Structure 1
Amino acid sequence: MQVKRKNNINCMEYLKYIGTPIPKSRLIFKRILDIILGILGVLISIPMIIIFGILIKLTSEGPIFFKQKRVGYMGKEFYIVKLRSMRNNAESTTGAIWAKKNDSRITPVGKFMRKTRIDELPQFWNVLKGDMSLVGPRPERPELTEKFYEKWNEFPKRLRIIPGITGYAQINGGYDLSPDEKCKLDNYYIENYSFIFDLKILFQTIVIIFNGDGAR
């Protein structure tokens, strides 16, 4: 990731310099929770993935799954997997852009999946692989990470912990947040991380989904 700060320290060097404030012992318990709930999530999500996979094929052209490169823990890149909620090749003319309210690229089925977060069910596989956690900052694309890093020097601090399916920023605004606001909430989560904090975020996520206030 070729990202430069004004003082010529690149992103990876900066991350190594600031490190992570979370003790490894706490991260072990976090990983154990991810594995247990990740396995459960995979088993529960399989029927839903099959049903909505069929709906995606019947209502829009393109593949069922959407794979995209993201930036994860300490700048490591990986591929996130989701059920496709946008038109096929939705960014062919625009390039990488930030998701927004009432995004015209989203299909009717995709709109429902995003509201209920069904499109994110395949990410339980990312959790089991260790690329993602159940709770953490939302992983961004390399192009956007570079753009935000140039504008907000604090942005790389989000990469000090494994990214998550849900997180403190997601339950406090989601797509309505600016990158700067999201960055501040993510860094607050990292600085105040605890096992109980994760459980609270997971509980609040479930409440938001059942209230119909999921991500767009």
Structure 2
Amino acid sequence: MMRRFFTLRPGRVSYRLGLSIQEQLLLARREGQEDILLLLEHPPVITLGRRGQESHLLTAPADLESMGLAVFHTGRGGDVTYHGPGQLIGYPIVDLQPLNRDLHLYLRRLEEMLIDTLAAFAITGRRVEGKTGVWVGEKKIASIGVGVRQWVTWHGFALNVSEQTAGFSHIVPCGLTGVAMTSMEQLLGRRIALSEVEEQLIPAFARVFDSTHAGAYEATT
């Protein structure tokens, strides 16, 4: 049977609420719901993955909090990253059984999807050997950090759309010393709405994962 996926796009939600939504979708997926691509935006927040090191915070947590930057320790893979307005966050809730439970293949497909999405805007994204994510030239434009529970994925990717990348100055992004971040707007020199990017990313997700977009997710679907 052809694979299908639904999309859920709640807009800007707190990181804590985003985690809660993922927990609900994970449960629905394990109870037989089809794959779900959750697309959203977060207020400013710094998250540390399972390999995250406090030493990769360049600003003290108390000072970050005073600036309105929440700090979360989370269950995804990877080190430290920043989320904020103007960044398209994707949390795919995907069953890895059809991918032979191959997490490495799943990560490569996420990169391919992001590279395809950027190509729709005439931006050439690329992989860097041994590092997860997507780069344009020598600068990083998308980060990936995933979790898996009973072979269903959660957490996911962050694509820098707007020029608001100053939050990265408080961290060593992904634990990579000297890495510089960029965004689609910086590269193109124009404003881009997140919805404009979503409309290119959804068909890229469908192609890369050989799945059909079945429309918006509803709890009763």
TM-score range, shorter chain: under 0.3
Higher strand share: 2
Normalising by structure 1, report the TM-score: 0.26
